[in-house]
Amino acid sequence: MQNNNTKGMQLKRAVKSQSYLRLGISGPAGAGKTWTALEVASRLVPDARIAVLDTELGSASKYADHFTFDVIELDHYRPQGVLDFLHLCEREGYHVAIIDSVSPFWNGPGGFLEMVDDEVARQKASRQSGRGDSFTAWKPVDAAYAKWVIDILASRVHVIFTLRAKMAYEQSKDGNGKAQVVKLGLAPVFRDTFPYELDVMLEMDQDHVGVVTKTRVHGLDDNVHRKPGAVFTQRLVDWLSSGPPPRAPLTTPPPAGDEGQPAGEPSASTGTARAKASSAAKATTSAAPETWADLEDGFRGALAGLQPPVTVEDLEAWRQAAGLPAVRTLRAEGLRALFADLRDGACPYWDWQHDRPDPRWTKEEARYKAAVEGLGLTMEAVQAWFRATDGKGAHQVGTDRRKALLDLVTARKAEGKDPLPPAARQGAAAK
């Protein structure tokens, strides 16, 4: 096979170089994310100059009596603020930059998810139909996110991110083939692919125990550290400092005055070669049909913005069980139509009465399912209760009736009683 596109390409022996740390620390409130970030930062470099970008209303400064650092408290969550902060750290000679926390830049005011909403609003205002498309709105946001990540990875300072965490769920089947909702544990509040960009991901619990769930550092995978400190950081230092000095950065800091430039709009100082390469790529691919490979990132991003979020894998399982074509076989228009259905409430939740996928489950019913689980019950128990008392499944009774059950369960729990009345349980069993 002949290929004339390899001109100028040259292979060379891979060499592990010194590098700047990219560390993520996730956990619920009280897990010790901020303290651990400061603890690691203070040990990374002797007499380290540490800068903190505080999005948590001054929480980092509460540790100023234990650690020495400078702080900036932003009044917005536009992603460009992170890049401006890192450029400032480079110019001012800081060794370590801490973003505490990065989660608001995803789901806070001005964050990536709001950028999608803004793009939808722009579409509505500019189209004669007055309609916007959340699916296509992800395209410019995906481009902004990709640039954001590249610029972070190119920064010539150690960067530590703290991330909030929330409970993640997955729908699966038990040994009898019945649907069940399984708690997957705590998941970082940010784009699900973000940990892939980091050198190390440390997940902490409220006992201040950190588990390394992702790492490029040999021998550090699955390590467990209680109150990570000297030992954990020394492993990082040994790995970061091995090899020749790091290569030159991919981008250069923007000149003064570029602060506040919207993410996704390259500044004059951001690698001209990369901008030319991007233009060339667009020119060569614009005429080609859009394939799943072209559309996957945008579609996944759009699904992540739904409430509740939906994954491609969930959709594939649902469509397979329902006898529908695989998501990956759909073209752009098919994906847009599918996303519109999901956005308008046709979420792929389970029809518990008939034990099969049911696209009729609405967002309101999905929220109800979450509320039921929040009270320590399962949808199976609730469905059995409704069938015993009403002769119908939960999705067939009205909103008021569903809410009445939640009120009843809440009241019985407050009284220390069985959340579901015993008579109802007996009736459900008889059914």
Phi, psi at 423, each rounded to 5°: -60, -40
C-beta separation of 88 from 156 below 8 A: no
Q: What CATH class has 22-240? A: alpha beta
Specify the domain boundaries for CATH 3.40.50 within the chain. Answer: 22-240
pLDDT for the residue 288: 38
- Give Rg (Cα) of the chain: 25
Q: Which residue has the tokens 């460009």?
A: 80
C-beta separation of 188 from 163 below 8 A: yes
Phi, psi at 80, each rounded to 5°: -60, -25
Average pLDDT in the chain:
75
pLDDT for the residue 161: 96
Smallest Cα–Cα separation from 389: which of 358, 361, 429?
429
pLDDT for the residue 421: 61
Residue 235 has pLDDT above 50, yes or no: yes
pLDDT for the residue 255: 39
C-beta separation of 26 from 201 below 8 A: yes
Written as one letter, the residue type at 224 is V
pLDDT for the residue 69: 95
Question: Which of 130-134, 256-260, 269-273 is predicted least confidently?
Answer: 269-273
Q: Quote the tokens at residue 280.
A: 């060339």
Distance CA 85, CA 354 (A): 54
Q: Which is more confidently placed, 132 or 98? A: 98
Q: Count CA atoms within 13 Å of residue 206 on its CB side.
A: 6
Distance CA 259, CA 267 (A): 10
Question: Which of 53-67, 83-97, 246-260, 365-379 is predicted least confidently?
Answer: 246-260
For helices 33-44 and 230-240, what crossing angle results, to 10°?
Answer: 50
Maximum average pLDDT range among 307-316, 354-363, 403-412: 403-412
Burial of 288 (0-12, 13-18, 19+ CB in 10 A): exposed
Maximum average pLDDT range among 8-12, 17-21, 398-402: 17-21
Tens digits of residue pLDDT in 23-59: 999 998 888 999 999 999 999 988 889 999 999 888 8
pLDDT for the residue 365: 63
Tens digits of residue pLDDT in 192-230: 889 889 999 999 888 888 889 899 998 787 688 889 888
Tens digits of residue pLDDT in 109-130: 899 999 998 888 888 888 777 7
Q: Which residue has the tokens 């949808």?
A: 379
Residue 251 has pLDDT above 70, yes or no: no
pLDDT for the residue 260: 37
pLDDT for the residue 65: 93
Question: Which of 157-171, 316-330, 339-353 is predicted least confidently?
Answer: 339-353
Written as one letter, the residue type at 82 is V
